[in-house]
Structure 1
Amino acid sequence: MSLMQRLEMRQGQALVMTPQLLQAIKLLQLSQLDLAAYVEAELERNPLLERVEGAGPDAAEPHESGAEPRESAAFEGADEAWSGTAELDPGRGEIETGFETRLDNVFPDDTPAPARETASGDMLSLTPAPYGSTGGSFDAEAPDFEATLTAETSLREHLASQLELATSDPVDRLIGGFLIDAVDEAGYIRESLDGVAERLGATLDRVAGILTLIQGFDPSGVGARDLAECLAIQLREKDRFDPAMQALVSRLDLVAKRDFAALRRLCGVDDEDLVEMLGEIRRLEPKPGRAFGASAVEVLIPDVFVRPAPDGSWLVELNSETLPRVLVNQSYYARVTRGAASDTDKAFLSDCLQTANWLTRSLEQRARTILKVATEIVRQQDGFFLHGVTHLRPLNLKTVAEAIGMHESTVSRVTSNKAIGTSRGTLEMKYFFTAAIPGAAGAAAHSSEAVRYRIKQLVDAETPDDVLSDDALVQKLRSEGVDIARRTVAKYRESLRIPSSIERRRERYAQGGTQGGSQGGAAALALR
């Protein structure tokens, strides 16, 4: 074996992740909001990109009178503001796809408004003055719209404003501010008073007194250390914290177990009074800070729409309202390139043009891929769209990937943060991918979501004399051709928030037992 240095030439293949490929992969898995933010950032960064507002054949006039038309370098020199549709026939199992393409260059008309001559000979522009301008000047910029919006008051600010009115002692305000900072989003204080007193160097009685003061603030029940104290504060304000109610609040574990007999003995009341007491507890707010700490509700906007066609097939189309439309301003690029003085400026413009072209291609490819994957999902789950969740079939990423000739990772990125709008509601794409539960005696496999829905149907159909245990649910499902284990039934039942058979039996008995059964049923409903 000899050790020596030499030069060799070898030929091989390697997969290189170029920046453009990384960008395309990133765009594929972005949600609508993230994609809009990304495109907005690119529009601000790249001077050659422009947004298309209301693209259409007659949406706008040319940008400048006598100027050459601007071309998009994205798709053979034209801006392709397109919408894709796919027609699927579940009977034939064939997919016919088509794309309507509009090749037009649309630019907003930013030509200044014409001016007219006044009686005094002055020229008066017809363009309205910007908001906030003074003295007829058009140079002042309008303020940001977000600066005119009012901010929502947080729970801490709401409590701090009440503390300033409740006490003027600086020490009490210091202790109260510390306790208010310890209040979580639900309105509870989780820190111990001993620890607060030791940290602030105050007496325990003074800290407890300030806590009592805070517990009298709005919202009612704020500053409690547990659920029982929160309910007790609200009941005291309603003057309903009598000995019977105090005994009921002290044993919330029996309320959760629906042990009505033990609650009647503990409180010393009859069925009618117990129903009334449980109803009062149900009307209380277990999380006082929820009104302040709740985040804004986000509406799930579908990326794809599925609707039935007159011939019985399915029409799958992209939601054009969520597709960002941008184009490349080629005429502007030609003008600034002619005026570029240095090689650095030319290199910058060339890089901007390449980035803009790749972004438009990536957006177009993303839309086509989403439509392709959604069409295959509809073809695989046509039973769901026809008959509902009971006909949802087992489906995984590999099946869809093999059917459309893509990799599983690509399908996974497409289905992340995407939704499909159907006649049965707007559902996430991931909803249609469910695990398979084998069928009994060689029958076809069943979707886990369909089995979970069947368990809910069986429980809803129970009677007081026939409450199904987990073993009984297993036997019924096996009689219907579903081979499922008892622990799987228990897991599905818990995921549906269905109580155990013992708790359901108590509830059913209270609903349909004696004369007070209707009252007991109301009590059970009050605990849900």
Structure 2
Amino acid sequence: MKQKMQYIQTLKQTLKLNQKLLKSLDFLTDNIDDINKVVQQVLETNPFLELKSPKNYDTQQFIESISNKRSLKDDLYLQLSACTRPYNEDLMDYLIESLDDSGFLSYPINQYLTDLDIDREMLDAHLDILRSFEPNGVGATDAIDSIIIQLKNNNKTKSYTLFRDYQDVILTQNYSLIKQKTGLKKEEIDHLFYEIRSCNPFPCNMYSSSQDDYISPDILIEVEDSNIMITPINQPELIVNDLLYEKVKNDENMKSYFNDAHFLIENLTKRNQTVLFVANALVDIQSGYFLYDDELYPCTLSQLASETGFHESTISRTLNNKYYSFNGEVYPLKQLLVSQTASGDSSDSIKKAIVELVDSEDKEHPLSDNQILKKLEELELHCSRRVIVKYRQQLNIPSSTKRKVLK
């Protein structure tokens, strides 16, 4: 009898904890990581709540991924352990550990040869192994080299050769000069440019140097054959075990657990549908940005509210703390909202701000593209890292590593 009373008391305490956790959630505003942490706790204590597992879904992986975010180097070592090509373990370890936060080699090639006391053939053989790993483009010397590696790995022979030989001309988008040098037709050049633009100059920025800084996106945006595909991700499907409830439905505590399970599923479903609906509308407005690398089209909360039929406050809460993944990078959905600038041209304002930031930076510690992005956000100028790279190159501003002035 005493054991039964203790069990009932424990059950009630767990039930109160579940209800407290659910009440703490602001389903529409909270990011997917915060929600999934609560989902994990409720899954462990609510007997009726289960994680539906499609054939290609690893339930345990979902549970572990909430608290364990792998780093770039973790993933590289994992791929190295499965590598069947012959390699020197110490040399591969050195190369992986020498990568910077962007997945680029930290030192000039000649320094690797000197430090490791090896010949170029040996170094190239091991770099080839590293550069065969995911993310495609890892182990490059810089962003330009990363694009070259990606094109080569993807067997884009023509665009690889074009970009390798004429990258300076391509970055200025001088069609006539490229046509003159290559003899290619404009249609061919357009296609090759599309393949080149599809590459991510910073493929490793999906990782964070700090696990606590990692942000999980709600949606994945992909472009295939001029079509934009939007896919919800990091949203496990939950189900209620009705058969189990039928056996214990006369127990009031069990009934509360059952109701809580339905409450969680209904609110999660509504949240995810709202996020997807708003994201679809926003991506449709900014389709040129994703398809053709155009500038972001001016779009405000008011315009998006009019487009979707939601109130502005609902749109704001929906976009708050929500992120999307595109070309291997994670961006805030709010970034796709762009207010019309005073000049009427957002690109001019962004370029001007980039020049001012670079002019005033500490020359011994120049701003990285990521730091420039954050400072632009503070100025309420919104763009992506790849747009910063594009503008910086158009302005003939070197990368931060090349701008660094040593004492």
Task: Give the TM-score taking structure 2 as reference length.
Answer: 0.43
